[in-house]
Amino acid sequence: MQAIGATALSPSVAPAAAVPGMGAEGRDTPKLCMGASAAHLDEGSLRRVTQLGVGHVVMGGPPIPWEESEIRSRMDRLQAVGLKLANMMMVGFPNTIYGRSGRDAEIEKILQSIRAAGRAGLPVIEYNFYAHRIVEGYFEEPGRGGAGMTSFDYSKVKDLPPLPDEGAHNLEEMWANVTYFLKAVVPVAQESGVRLALHPNDPPAPISRGSGQIMGSVEGWKRLVDIVPSTANGITFDCGVTREMGHDPVEVCRYFGAKDRINHVHFRNVRVRIPREKYTEVFPDEGEVNMFAVMKELVRQKYPRVILPEHPRVLDADREQPGNGSYTGWVFNVAYARAMFQAAMAS
């Protein structure tokens, strides 16, 4: 979330206890989360999260190598208002991604970070492995009532050339690079009690400025988790991306859940015109993903980690309030996901 928060003035309050019989979150159930940033861990910003009954947050991590003291500091500030840090995103290792000189030094920083996370009790580290993320294909289009939707059209960007600092990397080169990375880091993650979650390519375009997309297909996801057989080597299951690629999110969720490789979940909806190439991200209640069926499958699996109801739509209430970020859009997404969760628990 862009600054959870502008301001709020009363004492900190922990998330309200769930009403008995209404599908409470527990040890063996999914848990809703929201995004936060290290720059907005003040009481007022965090109060906006707790008011929605959300008990977990995810955020970007500091530059690598991470220090245990920094992780604990963030966790302590969240715990003071009854929130838990569920996941941090790790970035900053381009030589590893591109297979360049210097990747071993980067991997050593990653290993230090994983060990620090384990000592601090951080359960999940999320990361990306893009040669290039072709966000140039995104554009905004109006949805219901003029709300801002995010669309993607590969035909507008498929011929863009490689960037000089990235170059072009074929698919097998990218697989070799991620294999080298996983064989180095997964054993340490497993020893440290930390799960890794690789986010799928989003957009999942076939080629991104000349480079292959290892996580741009379900077949790629399956290949990834088999490189190093460990629950520490998992994915961020994104039901929206799954549908963007033309697959049934429930079936894909069931496959990876059976292997216990879903280490984080993104919960959103889309309308697809051409799989992988042309689609629109929409409100969670109006797309092609059966969101209730996805939530029921996660509940059936007893998936115990967090679900992020991400990518809120752009609403006038947020446009009209400087500093509000996309908070109203988040409220809609969280409320919808909470209803899906409670209905799934009762079904």
- Per-residue pLDDT averaged across 84-102, rounded? 98
Which pTM was predicted?
0.93
CB 282 within 8 A of CB 271: yes
- In tens, the pLDDT along 127-144 reads 999 999 999 999 999 999
- Per-residue pLDDT averaged across 242-257, rounded? 98
Q: What is the pLDDT of residue 324?
A: 79
- In tens, the pLDDT along 256-266 reads 999 999 999 99
Q: What is the pLDDT of residue 20?
A: 53
Q: What is the pLDDT of residue 322?
A: 79
Does the pLDDT at position 210 exceed 60? yes
Q: pLDDT band at 288, cuts 50/70/90?
A: very high
Does the pLDDT at position 16 exceed 60? no
Q: Tell me which of 293 and 39 has the higher pLDDT.
A: 293
What is the torsion angle, in degrees rounded to the nearest 10, for the CA atoms of residue 315, residue 242, residue 286 and residue 148?
20
The secondary structure of 203-249 as a DSSP string is: S--SEETTEE-TTSSHHHHHHHHHHS-STTEEEEEEHHHHHHTT--H
As a whole number of angstroms, the distance between CA 336 and CA 332 comes to 6
- Per-residue pLDDT averaged across 283-293, rounded? 98
Q: What is the pLDDT of residue 21?
A: 60
Q: pLDDT band at 3, cuts 50/70/90?
A: very low
- In tens, the pLDDT along 31-56 reads 999 999 888 898 889 999 999 999 99
Q: Tell me which of 172 and 324 has the higher pLDDT.
A: 172
The helix (run of H) or strand (run of E) holding residue 105 is helix 103-120
As a whole number of angstroms, the distance between CA 304 and CA 27 comes to 6
Q: What is the pLDDT of residue 13?
A: 42
- Per-residue pLDDT averaged across 166-174, rounded? 96
- Per-residue pLDDT averaged across 191-214, rounded? 97
Does the pLDDT at position 302 exceed 50? yes
Does the pLDDT at position 298 exceed 60? yes
As a whole number of angstroms, the distance between CA 293 and CA 29 comes to 15
